[in-house]
Structure 1
Amino acid sequence: MDRSGRPGTVTGELEAAGADPEAETGEVESAAGDHGAEVLTAAAGGGSDVLTPAGASAGSGGLTPAEERLWLPFYTMQVELWRRLSRKLQTEAGLSEPDLTVLSALHGAPEQRLRPSQLGEFIDYEKSRLSRHVDRMAARGLVRREPQPGARGGVVVLTDAGRGALDRALPIRAAHLRSVLFDALSAEQTAQLEQISTTVSAHLGLVPSPARVPDCG
């Protein structure tokens, strides 16, 4: 999971799930973190579109039956949610989740500009990968690079086109998340999910920061 609270990219899992690991307008993020040897496989039976970690049905990893009953739907749910969100943003907004993360980070920054190293606090990409991603976004006019005295590598600046793309994408993202997630939960279930997510995040040492989470509109 990256520093903005989003799960990390697992290209192999996206490919196994039938998603394009690197779409034309940017790299698409998967919801699954780095689970080592686990990969996604189609669940057995009738060509179901449900995704499962390889070997999960065999009680792999020494999990108890109760733990397996919790882990499997959690795992498949998060992968499918992120796969659908990635496709929705790509199709209707022409953006990937990494694009949205970069644009949101710049939008909330002073003067809407950040050094590449500061951007790295929002997206868990190694330096060279982040640089390539920013270059692709700059080629599309969403951001631009500017030199800045004392800032090695200059700064990345949000453009008018980038602001417009963000304004168009956030309502799409919000409507989609409500449709596939929040509308399926009661008020009590939503509160429980928030509590569970907060508890696990704290256990992992993650500190939620509203400034690092894109506004869902």
Structure 2
Amino acid sequence: MQNNSHLLNKYNIVKQGAVFKAFQLVLENSLDIQNLKPHEQLRVLWKAYKDSCPNNNNINGKIFEAIIATVMLENGIGPIFSQANVVFVPNVNFDLIVYSKEFGPISISAKTSLRERYKQADLEAVSLKYVHRKARCYLVTMDKPEAIRLEKKLKEGDLLGIDDIVLGDEASFDEMIEFLGSISLEKPKAVEIIKSFYVYDVVQNDK
């Protein structure tokens, strides 16, 4: 079976530097992901990363984002905005965002492990929903014990912004991909910061 090195040029997700080299190694050392379910695709690529690359906290998260984006694109989900800023949501860089006609922005927070990081993801989700009331927010992780704990928090109402906790290598990831594939994704239209029928301004006196 062929490896996945062709995906590097096909999607051009990772541009340069150490992350590019690590992702190239991941794709070269993983088997063909076609005909696999989305969570199986993610599992294959993540295993290739763990087996091929030394553990590096500075790179882990970026590779995880790249793997999620690759799997989404392979399943027809796009366009995807990476490290995205949203108008009127200050000081937040969202890991991944898609934009839908039905819900507006849908954020995907990618966390290889959680610990206290879920609080940041939940705060970002609250900030997004404060402006875009119908927005949906997913937290995708590989940390199963913490995911189970957060599922309990979600059911008890302790998470204010996150809509769903998704395990990247289990069926819940397939369900997220299926949902994203069922709605209309598009590039958002340019937003005018101020729009008005009339504009009143100071008259400058001619000198």
TM-score when normalising by structure 2: 0.29
More helix per residue: 1 or 2?
1
More strand per residue: 1 or 2?
2
Based on CA coordinates, which of the two structures has the bigger radius of gyration? 2
Which of structures 1 and 2 has the larger relative contact order (alpha carbons within 8 angstroms, sep 6+)?
1
